[in-house]
Structure 1
Amino acid sequence: MDWLRDNLWATWLGLAALLSVAEMFSLDLVLIMLAVGALAGMTAALIGLGIPVQVLAAAAASVAMLALVRPSLAKRFHGGPELNLGHGKLVGQRAEVTAEITGLSTGRIKIGGEIWSASPYDEHLVIAPGETVEVLQIKGATAYVHPVARLDG
């Protein structure tokens, strides 16, 4: 019992190692935060503080890690990149008009090496071939576009 009291830091270190290994199986970033708390308890034991102070240090560090560090880490690790797949990736891109676009007749644009049918987002616009447009929306196989302003200098 004297050895345990004299080497309480080793108990804290063992607890931190055990929690770290358990975290590898759970992967929810809770046990690793508790392991950091155990390391704070170990530090308090190495300094020579009493057992109640060690427990308070471990608890305070664990709660602080769970409240301050875990949310941002969980968001970073569990969230993936925003992927635009299919025709959604064309929204916001620029295209070249290949056939006149009016509110009354569907025209054509070339975007991403493909020809798409296109209508003006504002049905009162007429967009001539050769103009650059921005894709604002895709409905079915039709791109709704708006002309991009030119700076003729």
Structure 2
Amino acid sequence: MPVSLIWLIAALALAGAEALTGDLFLLMLSGGALAAAGSSFLLNWPIWADGIVFLLVSVLLLVGVRPALRRRLMSGRGLPEPAKALEGKSALVLDRVAIHEGQVKLDGEVWTARPYNENDVFEPGDHVTVVHIDGATAVVAKIG
């Protein structure tokens, strides 16, 4: 079996193992193994030289690329929570909404609901606005 193929298999195994950890460490080692596979295939160096290529490229990736990637991944806001996306939307009251009861139709789904102000009561057919989502309950207030 050619040495370059062994390095390629190692690169793929390390990249696959990275999927389990998500730390970007094994991915950098995978890049080093891929560089060693390329140098072994193109230059036909002895295996110890491929090991040096693996070591150098892995260290460069770990020191130079990994911190920048981690900062970039951690700085993003990410996707909004699905419940946050429902805030501010209009809902139709299905069952009387009072302090301890009520249901609204929100985004095509039936949600339990309670009023934002404890004294408010909304009757079926009323249109309300979702103020926020509290667990599985929509907290609603009257539109306008």
Q: Please, what TM-score do these two structures have when normalized by structure 2?
A: 0.51
Residue-by-residue CA offset, 1:10-53 (whole Å, 9 max, x unaligned): 10000000000000110000000000000111012112011111
Q: Does 1:12 align with 2:2?
A: no
Give percent identity, aligned residues only. 32
How far apart are residue 9 of structure 1 and its match? 0.5
Provide structure 2 residue ranges, at least 5 long, that are not aligned to the other structure.
79-144
Aligned-partner Cα distance in 2 for 1:28–1:78: 12
Q: Does 1:50 align with 2:38?
A: no
Q: Does 1:30 align with 2:33?
A: no
Q: Which residue of 2 aligns with 1:60?
A: 56
Provide structure 1 residue ranges, at least 5 long, that are not aligned to the other structure.
83-153
Q: Which amino acid aligns with 1:19?
A: L
* Partner SS for 1:73: helix
Aligned-partner Cα distance in 1 for 2:24–2:73: 10
The structure having more radius of gyration, on CA atoms, is 1
Aligned-partner Cα distance in 1 for 2:69–2:76: 12
Aligned-partner Cα distance in 1 for 2:74–2:14: 20
Q: Which residue of 2 aligns with 1:41?
A: 36
- The alignment covers a number of residue pairs equal to 77
